Amino acid sequence: MSLPKDFLWGGALAAHQFEGGVLETSKGLSVADVMTAGTKDTPRIITDGVEEGRYYPNHIGNDFYHHYKEDIAYMADMGFKCFRTSIAWTRIFPKGDEELPDEEGLAFYDDVFDELLKNNIEPVITLSHFEMPYHLAKEYGGFMNRKVIDFFVKFAKVCFERYKDKVKYWMTFNEINNQMNYKNDIFGWTNSGVHFNDYDDPEKAMYQCGINELIASAKAVKVGHEINPDFMIGNMISMVPYYPYSCRPADQVLALEMMHQRYFWSDTQIRGHIPSYALKMFERKGWNFEITEEDKQALKEGTVDYLGFSYYMSNTVDSTVNKDVSRSLDGSSPHSVDNPYIKVSDWGWGIDPEGLRYSLNAFYERYEIPLFIVENGFGAIDIKEEDGSCHDPYRIDYLREHIKALKKAVEEDGVDLMGYTPWGCIDCVSFTTGEFKKRYGFIYVDRNNDGTGTLVRSKKDSYEWYKKVISSNGEEL
């Protein structure tokens, strides 16, 4: 038994974290472009536009905008079958509410997709990866405003039409469920262009906004299928499975409730309606959300073809614990506790390969549709030696164990898995902290947290290792 022959091995990135080409092109500012760099202990600051004297790491990213041919050549050399990236909404509609799309932005992605296809690499495209137009966030209130649904669907339609013969695999919103961590402002801001903490009831605002995004996602899926019925359009969920801390029944039920918070998003996108446990919760809380008959129809007609998800870690919950997690960067809940069986990365993310097999099974049992692991990886501080080499055995270990786990899910459990695209295949800006030194790549980029560095690329040890994994279709690990 082995992985399917057409298994999509590749890597993943997101426009705002690696492209650069922000101020010198026709691109407009996105929500990510007004966020400063932080560290794991000092949060990124969401500024009011681009402010003089501040450093915005996403403006340069790793400068893919000017290196894309070189970078795609590296991907081809590693044997990538696919490359997951996103289209920056603000390259296509710089402010978000224009009548016509921007030709310079559209042409950039034509060039990138042509270069990928020339190298036999399938583009896998996220339409919105934490990078909505800043103008829509500031002037319209982001996804709290239903007009933004129409702007998103229009943007999606333009992309589907323009790239219909170049791109087959799509996703609507990256980690749509991550706004559940709304207490930390960057999650609501980047997901929806909203500061939920400004609302009297931030949780209610988060759900209203999330419902609007789910409607936008479904409408886009429907439009995409009309434009090209062969499109495979997926959703994208951040999967952090919750384990009960003990065999105490209350811990089991708590873990189930925590999973409901995640499934709310995928259930709606895959089954085409808001699940009963969520409707009951809205009722209990006295929340009357605006969901019209037309919205319900849209959700029904816009179900996705596959489930894409990120997996970095698991989380463990204890029903006797209830603490403040307003600064959580890792999906922690008020009930989260350390898992004594799991080691953590320098950023406190638990390393749990078996959790990946568990997650694949949990999703497949629930939905029986194809799954795609579109993010997984190990953020670490890498050292580039004087001779240009970079030894990252910890990353190879992490990926090897996760690939073993996904193989078990496919080979022993029968999960239908389309592919695997490790996150940050070329070093890029960290989303949660804005640092550059939290690296995930097979390719090292000479760039520092303060924005210094030559941007020169070089191979890490994991580069040759991953190349062999791909050429052996996961047999040589």
Compute the distance between CA of residue 62 and CA of residue 453 in angstroms, rounded to an integer: 10
Compute the distance between CA of residue 54 and CA of residue 185 in angstroms, rounded to an integer: 19
Binding region for ligand BGP (CB under 6 A) out of 192-200, 385-393, 430-438, 457-465:
430-438
For CA atoms 441, 442, 448, 451, give the dihedral sign: negative
Least CB distance from residue 70 to ligand BGP, whole Å?
A: 22
Of the candidates 19, 213, 375, 435, the residue annotated as catalytic is 375
Binding region for ligand BGP (CB under 6 A) out of 154-162, 211-219, 293-301, 423-431:
423-431
Question: SS3 helix, strand, coil % of the chain, rounded to 5?
Answer: 40, 15, 40
Would you say 238 or 449 has its CB closer to ligand BGP? Answer: 238
Question: Which residue from 90, 191, 310, 421 is in contact with ligand BGP, where contact means CB under 6 A?
Answer: 310
Token reading at 76: 């081809």
- Ranges assigned E (strand) in 287-414: 306-311, 315-317, 336-337, 343-344, 350-351, 371-375
Question: Which residue from 115, 131, 175, 352 is in contact with ligand BGP, where contact means CB under 6 A?
Answer: 175
Binding region for ligand BGP (CB under 6 A) out of 110-118, 157-165, 395-403, 426-434:
426-434
Chain centre to alpha carbon of residue 289: 27
Question: Which residue from 160, 187, 431, 466 is in contact with ligand BGP, where contact means CB under 6 A?
Answer: 431
Query: Is residue 430 close enough to count as binding ligand BGP by CB under 6 A?
Result: yes
Binding region for ligand BGP (CB under 6 A) out of 58-66, 164-172, 265-273, 431-439:
431-439
Considering only residues 244 through 283, tell me which ones interact with ligand BGP, judged by CB under 6 A: none
Would you say 162 or 439 has its CB closer to ligand BGP? Answer: 439
Binding region for ligand BGP (CB under 6 A) out of 40-48, 138-146, 387-395, 432-440:
432-440
Chain centre to alpha carbon of residue 150: 22
Binding region for ligand BGP (CB under 6 A) out of 58-66, 207-215, 429-437, 443-451:
429-437
Binding region for ligand BGP (CB under 6 A) out of 106-114, 142-150, 427-435, 460-468:
427-435
DSSP bridge pairs for 12: 84, 423
Strand duo 232-239 + 371-375: pairing: unpaired
DSSP bridge pairs for 169: 124, 232
Q: Give Dmax (Cα) for the chain.
A: 64
User: Mask of contacts with ligand BGP, 370-399, x by CB under 6 A?
Assistant: -----x---x--------------------
Closest CA to 18 of 59, 53, 78: 59
Question: Which residue from 7, 18, 263, 423 is in contact with ligand BGP, where contact means CB under 6 A?
Answer: 423
Q: Cα separations (Å) of 341 from 313, 315, 362?
A: 13, 12, 21
Least CB distance from residue 174 to ligand BGP, whole Å?
A: 5
Least CB distance from residue 120 to ligand BGP, whole Å?
A: 26
Tell me 164's DSSP state: T
DSSP bridge pairs for 234: 171, 306
Would you say 318 or 352 has its CB closer to ligand BGP? Answer: 352
- For the question of residue 375 being annotated catalytic, the response is yes
Least CB distance from residue 14 to ligand BGP, whole Å?
A: 5
Would you say 123 or 422 has its CB closer to ligand BGP? Answer: 422
Burial of residue 118 (CB within 10 Å: 0-12, 13-18, 19+) is exposed
Tell me 101's DSSP state: -
Query: Is residue 174 close enough to count as binding ligand BGP by CB under 6 A?
Result: yes
Least CB distance from residue 423 to ligand BGP, whole Å?
A: 5
Considering only residues 13 through 42, tell me which ones interact with ligand BGP, judged by CB under 6 A: 14, 17
Query: Is residue 169 close enough to count as binding ligand BGP by CB under 6 A?
Result: no
Would you say 178 or 212 has its CB closer to ligand BGP? Answer: 178
Cβ proximity of 187 and 130 under 8 Å: no
- Ranges assigned E (strand) in 3-158: 8-12, 82-86, 122-128
Alpha-helix residue ranges (DSSP H) falling in 193-344? 202-227, 249-271, 276-285, 293-301
Considering only residues 230 through 249, tell me which ones interact with ligand BGP, judged by CB under 6 A: 238
Least CB distance from residue 432 to ligand BGP, whole Å?
A: 3
Would you say 83 or 245 has its CB closer to ligand BGP? Answer: 83
Side chain identity at 424, as an amino acid letter?
G
Least CB distance from residue 366 to ligand BGP, whole Å?
A: 21
Give SS3 for 251.
Answer: helix
Determine which helix (DSSP H) or strand (DSSP E) holds 108, and give its type and residue range. helix 103-118
Determine which helix (DSSP H) or strand (DSSP E) holds 410, and give its type and residue range. helix 393-411
Residue 287 phi/psi, 5° resolution?
-95, 120
Q: How many residues bind ligand BGP (CB under 6 A)?
A: 14
Least CB distance from residue 411 to ligand BGP, whole Å?
A: 27
Question: Which residue from 438, 447, 457, 459 is in contact with ligand BGP, where contact means CB under 6 A?
Answer: 438
Q: Catalytic amino acids?
A: 375
Residues that bind ligand BGP (CB under 6 A): 14, 17, 174-175, 238, 310, 375, 379, 423, 430-433, 438
